[in-house]
Amino acid sequence: MFIFASQKNNAMKYKRILLKLSGEALMGERQYGIDPKRLAEYADEIKAIHDKGVEIAIVIGGGNIFRGVAGASNGMDRVQGDYMGMLATVINGMALQGALEEKGMLTRLQTALKIEAIAEPYIKRRAVRHLEKGRIVIFGAGTGNPYFTTDTAAVLRGVEVHADVILKGTRVDGIYDSDPEKNANAVKFNSITFEDVIKKGLNVMDSTAFTLSQENELPIVVFDMNTKGNLLKICNGENIGTVVKI
């Protein structure tokens, strides 16, 4: 009989997480598309916390394939562009699903748009049941509505499935008072409140996603996903990245 690790290990800080990954992160060193090497690295990082019993839901962006906003800026209808972006997130979700299953993990891909040949429709109760059974649930197609980002989809799904935290994996190791890639003197925050993020005008997530997280008292951790072991350290309770706390 399959015994999920959470039945044996209760030492982790978080029991259930929502991991938000950007589509661009999947490019690795490429200019566009999906880098299989980066996918395998992410699968290893996710497996490390899965083996410790953490219940994992994931939302991935689609910017490595298509961005609706970018399409609209070039004359495309915004709604049409956003739906194309949603389909891009499904492609990324399928790619990550394959990488995770190659490592021996059980997964389910659920989408906000009905694509029954490749994914389950998003149903909250079914998603929660999958998580309880130790399956990794990947949410594709954003919220299923144009004009909403995958950041908003991540927070919405996190609230719906009762995640303990939103873990936003980026290429930067936390939140700074200015862009650390442009300003060598940028100062990093180890922790910050929702109110201070707003007062300082810091760009953590889009305003809809951030407000939804604040209203539902769902903390956010921004961290460098590309540094090996960071995801496990966060779930172990180590001070990695920046915590946006209640």
User: Is 82 labelled as part of a ligand binding site?
Assistant: yes
Contact criterion met (CB below 8 Å) for 131 and 57:
yes
Is 32 among the annotated ligand-binding positions? no
pLDDT for 39 equals 96
DSSP assigned state of 21: E
Region 126-136: what's the mean pLDDT?
98
Tens of pLDDT, residue by residue over 42-88, are: 999 999 999 999 999 999 999 999 877 777 778 889 999 999 999 99
Q: Which residues pair with 175 in a beta bridge?
A: 189
CA atoms within 13 A on the CB side of 34: 19
Is 179 annotated in a binding site? The answer is yes
Query: For residues 85 and 96, what is the distance between their CA atoms, to the nearest angstrom?
Result: 17
Binding residue per annotation — 143? yes
Please give the radius of gyration of the chain, using alpha carbons only, rounded to the nearest integer: 17
pLDDT tens figures, 209-218: 999 999 999 9
75 is in an annotated binding site: no
* Residue 144 known to bind ligand: yes
- Would the annotation count 21 as a binding residue? yes
Query: Is 148 one of the annotated binding-site residues?
Result: yes
Are 87 and 28 contacting, i.e. CB atoms less than 8 angstroms apart?
no
Question: pTM of whole model > 0.85?
Answer: yes
Tell whether residue 145 is among the known ligand binding residues: yes
Mean of pLDDT values over 109-137: 97
- Residue 122 annotated as part of some ligand binding site: no
Tell me the domains of the chain and their CATH numbers: 16-244 (3.40.1160.10)
- Annotated binding residue 150: yes
Return the closest-CA partner of residue 220 out of 192, 195, 243. Answer: 243
CA-to-CA distance for 38 and 115, rounded, in angstroms? 26
pLDDT at 2: 44
Residues 18-47 pLDDT 10s: 999 999 999 988 888 999 999 999 999 999
How far apart are alpha carbons 221 and 243 in whole angstroms? 4
